[in-house]
Amino acid sequence: MGKIIAVANQKGGVGKTTTVINIAAYLGSRDFKVLCVDADPQGNTTTGFGIKKKSVSASTYDVITGKARIQEATVQTEFQNVSIVPATEALAGCEIELAEYENRVNRLKMQILTCKDDFDYIFIDCPPALGTITINGLVACDSVMVPMLAEFYALEGLSQLVNTIKIVKNNYNPALEIEGILFTMFDGRLNVANDVVAEVEKYFPDKVFKTKVPRNVRISEAPSHGKPVMYYDKASKGSESYELVCHEMLGEPLELPKKKKIFSFKKHKKGKRSS
């Protein structure tokens, strides 16, 4: 049975989509079967995997509203073992439409349960809001991964999200847990960044990932090429950081394979042979 992880934070621009894309790609490269559910109306996970929205026949909107089965909306990406339920602009109006549905917070869960056994990991990229779609993600998942910035205002957002998780846990999903809090776009040279990490670790001592994903140009460039960063530049700091995050998730040592040394041989000038 697959593990379902919602990636959520109501604050935008914290690296949710980037985290989903790059963790999914790395796990797929390790022969885990991965499904990404793009539940964000912006559809950035969809484009980040190189899927053109105009080519999509069924999307997350159709899945949540019951107009299509999740299997009908699932698209295989060009990356190893990674599939996606894409999002289109139609999802933007889903919040209003769901208000008329009975059992509206369980819509995504009912669909995912029909394909859970087909995947090792299912990631739900939630929108940057604590609305009905995000609640659907929290009800459907086993755990929540929270990407966040090491900034003061991010602490307020984390507090609000944790309260929402508690409400969902108490009312809809008793098994819901926090998978981990992942600091993204991290700059350890800043005192405020280290102070925020220390504050979060104080309240969530066993939930903060040891790996901090740094600001990295390659991570920023990769989506414009429709690729996860490991397929764009595997040797980049961004790629290595997400690889280490996956090592933590899998309970593996926090070390990367040693790079092979490249030996260069200097050409020696031929000298005159002594007689």
Q: Tell me, what's the pLDDT at 256? A: 74
pTM of the model: 0.91
Query: What are 76's strand-pairing partners?
Result: 83
CA dihedral of residues 187, 192, 198, 202 (deg, nearest 10): -130
Q: Tell me, what's the pLDDT at 258? A: 67
Q: How many CA atoms lie within 13 A of 273 on its CB side?
A: 1
- Over its length of 275 residues, how does the chain's per-residue pLDDT go in tens digits? 789 999 999 999 999 999 999 999 999 999 999 999 999 999 999 999 999 999 999 999 999 999 999 999 999 999 999 999 999 999 998 988 988 888 899 999 999 999 999 999 999 999 999 899 999 999 999 999 999 999 999 998 899 999 999 999 999 999 999 999 999 999 999 999 999 999 999 999 999 999 999 999 999 999 999 999 999 999 999 999 999 999 999 999 888 766 554 444 444 444 444 44
CA distance 39 to 230: 23
Q: Tell me, what's the pLDDT at 31? A: 97
The domain defined by 3-250 carries CATH number 3.40.50.720: no
Q: Tell me, what's the pLDDT at 125? A: 98
Q: Where are the domains positioned within the chain?
A: 3-250
CA distance 34 to 91: 22
Q: Tell me, what's the pLDDT at 259? A: 57
Tokens encoding 232: 């764009």
Q: Tell me, what's the pLDDT at 20? A: 98
Q: Tell me, what's the pLDDT at 185? A: 97
Residue 214: which residues within 8 A CB-CB, separation 6 or more? 185, 186, 187, 237, 238, 241
Strands 34-38 and 82-85: parallel
